[in-house]
């Protein structure tokens, strides 16, 4: 492994963060050293690991590599590649900006940073001619960003539809199989380590929304940030919703949906009912899967482990080999392409279908005014199912495709109806043709 001058080629890596992903990156850099060097074209040497508490013992990690001074490590002249697996905005943002300004190639798994400050960090990457790779930021080990950015560069992506958060998928899976409610299923996920003690980022959809922003940006060659994503989490999903979906041959999943729609793009994350026959319905537990519909390629699906230290480390190391090859060749990977500059449409303009559950008085004459309210807002009803429960009845209405704003207006009108005791839930229906 030597360069044109006969000297052995070495690229030195600074690892920022040593949690579940960082530990595996450090281990694999060591264990797979020979293979990685033969694939990259240079020996990949770990120059240092920045952690909060360097005195904390870490089995398998050489303590002399540990430092608390992340900034010095990220900008050290002998470092070629900076791998960031800290997560969150700061200090990750400052560290990566400084690293790129001192000419380092950057590999990161940081979805929040890319979705919230993507414009700034891509601009610095471009200005300083350094690589910025982030395959691990979305869907863990699943190769997804490289296919979108490169394999589909000659195609027009119409739609990306995916399950990109394993924690919520695990919880919804439990609710579906056991009939448990959200709270019980969350507790179970926490006990098994699938959910964090503070589960907000997952269950409120923030994690999925950041990933949706990244996917939409790549798919549509447009700048999309986390703030552009309409976001609803799963905390309001009830056991009754899950049961009703079941009766209708559907299952509830938290979906990230990125669509070309009219003259713009729509990006949203929310729970939705999909048919049990849909390939995404079978994606269980902590797995991720993403459908991509492109004009020429048709429907593609990518499936695999969406999180976890080792799978995510696989994606990080794939990027490390790629930036190493680029660095040795004196080049860099393709820039983020945002030339299309499509507007991000407001959620109200989204066209989709709805499953509305109403608690109504159980007496004749209830359906007519409810149906009229839908009609007044131009929302066409596809199916109605009424179940008596004593004095009260459960009225379930599934609509044809409608504008989100029209549905919202309908629901708000229904809430004021005397016969409607409560709007128990409103959930979107995705992944199936609208029967006419």
Q: Which residues of the chain form contacts with a second copy (CB under 8 A)?
A: 24, 28, 32, 35-36, 38-40, 135, 141-143, 146-147, 150-156, 221, 279, 282, 294, 296-305, 308, 310-311, 313-322, 325, 329-332, 334, 337, 339-340
The angle formed by the CA atoms of residues 83, 86 and 91, to the nearest 5 degrees, is 100
Residue with tokens 């004749």, as numbered in its chain: 364
| 435 phi/psi in degrees, rounded to 5 | -70, 135
For a second copy, the closer of residues 300 and 367 by Cβ is 300
- Least distance from C-beta 325 to a second copy, angstroms? 6
- Annotated catalytic residue, options 7, 101, 111, 211: 211
The SS3 call for residue 301 is: strand
For a second copy, the closer of residues 274 and 398 by Cβ is 274
- Least distance from C-beta 289 to a second copy, angstroms? 8
For a second copy, the closer of residues 339 and 364 by Cβ is 339
- CB atoms inside a 10 Å sphere around CB 318: 17
Closest CA to 99 of 119, 124, 74, 120: 74
For a second copy, the closer of residues 194 and 303 by Cβ is 303
- Least distance from C-beta 293 to a second copy, angstroms? 10
For a second copy, the closer of residues 304 and 369 by Cβ is 304
The SS3 call for residue 357 is: strand
- Least distance from C-beta 19 to a second copy, angstroms? 16
- Least distance from C-beta 403 to a second copy, angstroms? 28
SS3 for 46-67 is EEEEECCCCCCCCCCCCHHHEE
- Least distance from C-beta 342 to a second copy, angstroms? 12
- CB atoms inside a 10 Å sphere around CB 57: 7
Question: Which residues, other chains included, contact 62 with Cβ-Cβ below 8 Å and sequence gap of 6+?
Answer: none
Closest CA to 84 of 130, 51, 124: 51
- Least distance from C-beta 31 to a second copy, angstroms? 10
Closest CA to 10 of 54, 45, 48: 45
Is 246 a known active-site residue? no
CA distance 217 to 180: 37
182: number of CA atoms within 13 Å, CB side? 15
Q: How far apart are the first and last CA of the chain?
A: 64
Q: What is the dihedral of CA 56, 60, 62, 67, to 10 degrees?
A: -40
SS3 for 359-377 is EEECCCCCHHHHHHHHHHC
For a second copy, the closer of residues 144 and 210 by Cβ is 144
Please report which helix (H) or strand (E) contains residue 220, including its range.
Answer: helix 206-220
For a second copy, the closer of residues 140 and 199 by Cβ is 140
- The answer to whether 333 touches 323, Cβ cutoff 8 Å, is yes
Question: Where in the sequence numbering do the catalytic residues fall?
Answer: 211
């Amino acid at each position: 492994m030597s360069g044109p001058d006969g000297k052995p080629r070495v690229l030195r890596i600074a690892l920022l963060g040593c949690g579940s992903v960082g530990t595996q990156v450090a281990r694999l850099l060591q264990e797979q050293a020979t293979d990685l060097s033969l694939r990259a074209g240079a020996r990949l040497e770990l120059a240092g690991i920045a952690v909060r508490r360097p005195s904390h013992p870490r089995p398998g990690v050489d303590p002399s590599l540990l430092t608390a001074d992340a900034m010095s490590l990220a900008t050290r002249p002998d470092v070629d590649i900076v791998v960031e697996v800290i997560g969150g905005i700061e200090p990750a943002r400052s560290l990566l900006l400084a690293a790129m300004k001192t000419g380092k190639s950057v590999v990161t798994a940081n979805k929040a940073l890319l979705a919230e400050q993507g414009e700034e960090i891509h601009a610095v990457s471009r200005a300083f001619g350094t690589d910025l790779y982030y395959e691990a930021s979305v869907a863990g080990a699943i190769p997804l960003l490289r296919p979108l950015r490169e394999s589909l560069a000659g195609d027009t992506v119409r739609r990306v539809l995916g399950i990109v958060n394993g924690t919520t998928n695990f919880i919804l899976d439990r609710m579906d199989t056991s009939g448990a409610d959200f709270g019980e299923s969350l507790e179970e996920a926490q006990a098994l380590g699938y959910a964090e003690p503070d589960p907000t980022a997952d269950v409120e959809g923030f994690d999925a929304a950041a990933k949706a922003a990244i996917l939409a940006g790549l798919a549509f060659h447009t700048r999309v940030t986390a703030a552009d994503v309409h976001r609803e989490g799963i905390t309001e999903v009830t056991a009754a919703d899950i049961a009703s979906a079941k009766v209708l041959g559907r299952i509830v999943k938290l979906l990230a949906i990125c669509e070309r729609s009219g003259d713009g793009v729509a990006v949203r994350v929310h729970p939705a009912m999909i048919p049990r026959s849909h390939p995404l319905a079978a994606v269980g537990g902590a797995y991720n899967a993403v459908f991509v519909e492109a004009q020429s390629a048709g429907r593609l699906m990518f499936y695999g482990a969406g999180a976890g230290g080792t799978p995510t480390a696989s994606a990080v190391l794939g990027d490390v080999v790629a930036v190493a090859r680029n660095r040795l060749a004196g080049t860099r990977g393709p820039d983020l392409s945002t030339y299309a500059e499509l507007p991000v449409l407001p959620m109200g303009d989204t066209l989709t279908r709805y499953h509305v559950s109403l608690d109504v008085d159980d007496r004749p004459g209830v359906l007519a005014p409810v149906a009229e309210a839908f009609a007044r807002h131009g929302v066409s009803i596809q199916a109605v199912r009424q179940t008596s429960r004593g004095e009260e009845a459960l009225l379930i209405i599934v609509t044809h495709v409608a504008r989100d704003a029209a549905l919202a207006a309908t629901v708000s009108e229904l809430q004021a109806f005397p016969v409607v005791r409560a709007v128990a839930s409103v959930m979107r229906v995705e992944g199936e043709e609208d029967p006419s």
